[in-house]
Amino acid sequence: MKKSTLFLLFLTVFSFQKNFAQCLLERIPLNNQVNSSTVIVEGKVIAKTSYWDTRHFNIYTVNRVEVYKVFKGAYVEEINVITPGGTIGTDAEVVTPSLQLDIEDKGVFMLFEDNMLLDAPHALAQKFKPYSGPQGYYKYNVIDNLVINPFHVEEGIANFYQSVIQLTGIDPIEVRPFAFNRTANRSQEDNQAIAIVTFSPTTVTAGTKTILTINGTDFGTTPQNVGFRNSDDGGSSYVFALASQILTWTDTQITVEVPSKAGTGTIAIINSAGDTILASSSSSLAVDYAQLNATYDVGSGDYAYQTQHINDDGSGGYVWQMFTDFDSNTAAKESFIRAFDSWRCETAINWTIGATTTNDVVASDGINIIRFDNGAELPDGVLGRCTSRYSGCIVGGTDLQWYVSELDINFNDTTNWQYGPTLANGAQIDFETVAVHELGHGHQLAHVINSSAIMNYSLGFGVNKRVLSSNDIACAGDIQSRSNSFTPCGQPSMVDFDCSTLSINESNLAEAISVYPNPATNELFIKKLNNSIALDRIEIYSVTGKMVYSEIVEESVLEQKLDLRTFSKGVYFLSISSGINNTVKKIVIN
């Protein structure tokens, strides 16, 4: 990992867009969380500060929480909740999935003592971490009176109080009053003159500087908040455009950049306090894809910036290294490489896999590691994690540039994985699907709200999504174009990956199969040109990544005929597996 000498006079606040979702999570029931937590509090985040750990391995954020109620534990007025990731100077770290909090976030925290040694100027009292990672926080959506968790959405904050009290068996300790707006859902009835009439375009991309124009009546002349459905929780809450992303605001029209975390769904005008809907659209905004952004404040408010890749290894991109025990797990290794090759061959990202490493740690050490965790290293319910590290610099005194400096992926070694090429059943997590998704985050793709998409905010048991859709490819292509065109902070730009450099076995498989006719109408033929190759499985995926056909191929068959009469017209992806190798071909059905 290369790091240039960077100079930054003052950087007050910085955070990367959050990935708070079910990817790489296994549900932990509420009763388990209550029983396993030593402290449960309701509170609000009032301050955030990031520190390196004392070994300088990783960055952690100390979130100071003002306590409203104590459901379990002793009376306390403030606590520190430690979460992975954060920013120090021009070094940033994002861990997905993990709990990442914003100032003013309110909710209930399920906690236990944290023993991480941080390089802080003074000892931190009342230091805790969330039990079960992001599942250990129940976030309040005060606008809709909802309590939101990656696997749990409950209507009524007061109702959730009772759910917790029934499990603790004691009344909470009231530390300070907390009142939420119970009439927020009815607010539009009180603001009949305010209305969203139209918006354009109706289909957008997020985190790409795309501008949305909202037309309506009585918006006023003082900017409020523009709310989009949050792609990180399936749209259960709103994410607001930054003040700097609201470009114009008049009584009848608003122009706004679509923020990175915006997902498909209705849009809303929300008051400046963020707790009352003033107007909501009657139709949904469609978000095809989203990109991760960097958000920073150098004294004049938050601004969102796009990220990119560089030529980190001197050979065009980045070298990943498998820890020895991951490398020795043949099924996991082959599954990961199939996911790896999907991104490389479809989007030209220059990733390669180098020699194995004996460094068995996720750390800022210049090694892009692929590994399994050891014991209870990952929080309960976390199946794996992707850690993205960034470096940045100020250019021209005002412009801040950020690039990916290191990537680490850590999988749970006790999960019931299906490594493939057989599909996962309802009791298994498909390893290749998860790897494709998390490598998508490494590629700088953000979540979408689309149950058939690889980058959907939620993946679960028995879900098999191994083929990139046209939206995934378009999103990655835009990032890749940036990465091989610009030189952030003087770093060399990435060079497109040449898919012809793949192993001879993978190349042979693609060359040993003929698919015809293409385009096809009623039937499609798959013919082996090399009798020494045995095909295992044929799968067809829609452009949204949904598998619509699957068949096991008998070894003796030289030519396989597929009946297409029940297929709708359009573009599909044909996936053909042979042993550890896999090739994907695009087909058109007329």
Cβ atoms of residues 244 and 188 within 8 Å: no
Q: What does the pLDDT average to over 109-138?
A: 93
Per mean pLDDT, which range of 63-67, 95-99, 485-489 is the poorest? 95-99
User: Tell me, what's the pLDDT at 182?
Assistant: 46
In CATH, the architecture of 193-291 is: Sandwich (2.60)
pLDDT at 1: 40
pLDDT of residue 6 exceeding 60: no
- Please give the Cα distance from 468 to 466 (Å, whole number): 7
Q: Is 533 exposed, middle or buried (0-12, 13-18, 19+ CB in 10 A)?
A: middle
In this predicted structure, the answer to whether residue 54 has a pLDDT above a threshold of 70 is: yes
Rounded mean pLDDT, 50-71: 97
Res 506 pLDDT > 80: no
Half-sphere exposure of 543 (CA within 13 A, CB side): 13
Residue 467 has a pLDDT of 86
Q: Summarize pLDDT for 169-227 with one digit per residue, the tens.
A: 999 999 999 866 444 444 444 556 899 999 999 999 999 999 999 999 999 999 999 99
Per-residue pLDDT at 537: 85
* pLDDT (0 to 100) of residue 113: 94
Q: How confident is residue 13, by pLDDT bands cut at 50, 70 and 90? A: very low
Domains 193-291 and 504-589 share a fold: yes
Pair of tokens at residue 489: 């902070």
Q: pLDDT at residue 9 above 60?
A: no
Residue 576 has pLDDT above 80, yes or no: yes
Task: Answer whether residue 472 shows pLDDT above 80.
Answer: yes
pLDDT exceeds cutoff 60 at 3:
no
Contact 456, 434 (CB under 8 A): no
pTM of the model as a whole: 0.80
CA end-to-end span of the chain, whole Å?
A: 48
**CATH class for the domain made up of 504-589:** mainly beta
Predicted confidence at residue 21, as pLDDT, reads 36
Q: 307-311, 340-344, 398-402: which range is least confident on average?
A: 398-402
| Domain residue extents for the chain | 18-174, 193-291, 318-500, 504-589
Residue 15 has pLDDT above 70, yes or no: no
Indicate the pLDDT class of residue 500, thresholds 50, 70 and 90: low
Which one is the CATH code of 18-174: 1.10.3720.10, 2.40.50.120, 1.10.510.10, 3.30.300.30?
2.40.50.120
Q: What confidence score (pLDDT) does residue 583 get?
A: 78
In terms of Cα–Cα distance, which of 322, 404, 343, 399 is closest to 93? 404
Top-level CATH class of 318-500?
alpha beta
Preceding omega of 150 cis (within 30 degrees of 0): no
